[in-house]
């Protein structure tokens, strides 16, 4: 039966854990709080070590807490991160997304820094500062950086955070045997979508939407084992979905995949969501890493990296690239269907003036169409935010 305006606002007949208020996807104020309480505290993937192969290679990264960062490999091979902000008068230091800089010189007044963040030159220092200030008194703000779990470069802007190992815990255990040799990014794709970053992560946390993917219905949903896949939640909001074997040859025109992955059964698939917006997706021959980097409550950059083994022969690499780009990457259909889903949610929520509810209420014994993955995410989100995702601001008691 259709709903009138009052009925439309009625809460779903579920416990509060089984729905959220759409305000969490649209509110500027909630986004600002997320920047401080979530992105300002969690470990976030900035890039992959293979994207900085040589000394002085750098990438710039717009950290979702709001700080622009430089990630740079030093002469000693160590990858470090810094605020991309000059300590003199706050100018942006590096503008290019990627490059090589033995010396980082600010264009404004020509102060220079090395790849360890030390200030190495202050123009006309003596004349202006006499003995009151010199290079040793200036330096870039360093950000905690660790490389791990497949060679990704993780950063944390909170100096007091736990270690990356503590943050991940056992969540990546299912992939442990698959990530023990050096990897290499062979493809990078970026989508800017007018939607909330959590909606993308939600899509990676529920598979009920396989109804949207013709390919997945044929290669996965109608194959034995699909409905046996179980969600496992881990501390800090991470979750894994157990492996299954995908029948790629069930899709008309698909050839059997010729290249596999160490430790993964042929046609295997392991997916692990890392809070608050990263997903490891290992399918047969390719690891795809999604990172959702919000630009605001209704705009997100989603980075997609396709990775193979550093030791690949040219033939193996060519096959991985073909598999990634034609099935799971930007020239496949799956990724676009997912993007259409979250784009549509963004459109509908932005246009909707009254807050409403989104259901996370499916229970199927924690198997693949159970929405427990999203519930697990929002339990952690609520814990970190000090508020429930299902209680609108108008009803929430003031934060203490």
Which of 83, 199, 221 is closest to 142 using CA atoms? Answer: 83
Which of 12, 394, 377, 17 is closest to 202 using CA atoms? Answer: 377
Q: Among residues 184 and 273, whose Cβ is nearest to Fe ion? A: 273
Q: What are 19's two structure tokens?
A: 């729905």
> Distance between alpha carbon 378 and the CA centroid of its chain, in Å?
16
Q: Which of 206, 303, 338, 370 binds Fe ion (CB under 5 A)?
A: 338
Q: What angle do CA 308, 310, 314 make, to 5 degrees?
A: 80
- Position 88 contacts ligand FES (CB under 6 A): yes
| Cα distances (Å, whole numbers) of residue 28 to 178, 203, 241, 296 | 39, 22, 32, 7
- Name the percent of the chain in helix, strand, coil, to the closest 5: 30, 30, 40
Q: Which does 89 bind (CB under 5 to 8 A by kind): Fe ion, ligand FES, none?
A: ligand FES
- Position 11 contacts ligand FES (CB under 6 A): no
Nearest distance in Å: CB 89, ligand FES: 4
Nearest distance in Å: CB 63, ligand FES: 20
- Position 189 contacts ligand FES (CB under 6 A): no
Nearest distance in Å: CB 346, Fe ion: 16
What does the per-residue mask of binding to ligand FES show for 90-129, with x meaning CB under 6 A?
Answer: -x--------------x-xx-x------------------
Residues 6+ apart with CB under 8 A from 170: 234
Measured in residues, the chain has a length of 400
Q: Which does 338 bind (CB under 5 to 8 A by kind): Fe ion, ligand FES, none?
A: Fe ion
Is the bond preceding residue 276 a cis peptide, omega within 30 degrees? yes
- Position 290 contacts Fe ion (CB under 5 A): no
Q: Among residues 12 and 139, whose Cβ is nearest to ligand FES? A: 139
The one segment of 178-186, 246-254, 281-289, 337-345 that binds Fe ion by CB under 5 A: 337-345
- Tell me the C-alpha distance between 271 and 87, whole Å: 41
Q: Which does 111 bind (CB under 5 to 8 A by kind): ligand FES, Fe ion, none?
A: ligand FES
Exposed/middle/buried for residue 218 (C-beta within 10 Å: 0-12, 13-18, 19+): middle
| Count of residues of this chain found to bind ligand FES when the rule CB under 6 A is applied | 8
Nearest distance in Å: CB 69, ligand FES: 17
The one segment of 96-104, 231-239, 252-260, 333-341 that binds Fe ion by CB under 5 A: 333-341
Cross-strand bridge partners of residue 341: none
Q: Among residues 91 and 366, whose Cβ is nearest to ligand FES? A: 91
Q: Which does 333 bind (CB under 5 to 8 A by kind): Fe ion, ligand FES, none?
A: none
The one segment of 88-96, 258-266, 275-283, 377-385 that binds ligand FES by CB under 6 A: 88-96
The one segment of 36-44, 70-78, 219-227, 336-344 that binds Fe ion by CB under 5 A: 336-344
Residue 35 dihedral angles phi and psi, to the nearest 5°: -60, -40
- Position 273 contacts Fe ion (CB under 5 A): no
Which of 125, 149, 150 is closest to 135 using CA atoms? Answer: 125
Q: What are 257's two structure tokens?
A: 């995949």
- Tell me the C-alpha distance between 104 and 233, whole Å: 43
Give CA torsion, residues 149, 151, 156, 161, to 10 deg: 40
Q: Enumerate binding residues for Fe ion (CB under 5 A).
A: 338
Positions that interact with ligand FES (CB under 6 A): 86, 88-89, 91, 106, 108-109, 111
């Amino acid at each position: 039966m259709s709903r009138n305006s009052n009925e439309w606002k009625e809460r779903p007949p579920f416990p509060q854990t089984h729905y959220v208020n759409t305000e969490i996807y649209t509110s500027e104020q909630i986004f600002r709080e997320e920047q401080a309480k979530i992105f300002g505290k969690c470990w976030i993937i900035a890039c992959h070590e293979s994207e900085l192969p040589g000394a002085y290679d750098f990438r710039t990264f717009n950290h979702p807490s709001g700080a622009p960062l430089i990630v740079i490999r030093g002469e000693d091979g160590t990858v470090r991160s810094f605020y991309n902000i000059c300590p003199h008068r706050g100018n942006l230091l590096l503008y290019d997304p990627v490059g090589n800089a033995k010396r980082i010189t600010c264009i404004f007044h020509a102060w220079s820094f090395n790849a360890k963040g030390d200030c190495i030159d202050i123009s006309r220092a003596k004349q202006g500062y006499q003995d009151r200030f010199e290079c040793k008194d200036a330096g870039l703000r360093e950000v905690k950086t660790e490389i791990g779990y497949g060679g990704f470069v993780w950063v944390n802007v909170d100096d007091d955070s736990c270690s990356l190992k503590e943050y991940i815990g056992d969540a990546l255990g299912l992939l442990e045997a698959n990530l023990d040799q050096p990897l290499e990014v062979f493809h990078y794709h970026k989508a800017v979508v007018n939607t909330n970053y959590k909606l993308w992560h939600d899509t990676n946390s529920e598979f009920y939407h396989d109804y949207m993917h013709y390919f997945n219905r044929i290669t996965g949903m109608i194959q034995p084992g699909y409905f046996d896949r179980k969600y496992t939640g881990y501390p800090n909001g991470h979750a894994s979905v157990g492996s299954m074997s995908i029948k790629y040859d069930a899709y008309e025109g698909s050839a059997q995949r010729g290249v596999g992955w160490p430790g993964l059964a042929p046609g295997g698939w392991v997916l692990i969501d890392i809070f608050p917006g990263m997903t490891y997706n290992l399918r047969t021959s390719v690891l795809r890493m999604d990172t959702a980097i919000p630009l605001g409550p209704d705009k997100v950059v989603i980075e997609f990296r396709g990775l193979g083994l550093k030791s690949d022969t040219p033939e193996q690499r060519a096959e991985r690239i073909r598999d990634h780009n034609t099935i799971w990457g930007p020239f496949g259909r799956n990724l676009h269907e997912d993007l259409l889903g979250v784009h549509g949610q963004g459109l509908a929520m932005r246009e909707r003036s009254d807050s409403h509810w989104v259901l996370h209420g499916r229970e199927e014994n924690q198997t693949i169409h159970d929405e427990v993955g999203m519930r697990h995410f929002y339990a952690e989100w609520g814990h970190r935010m000090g508020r429930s995702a299902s209680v609108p601001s108008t009803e929430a008691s003031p934060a203490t």
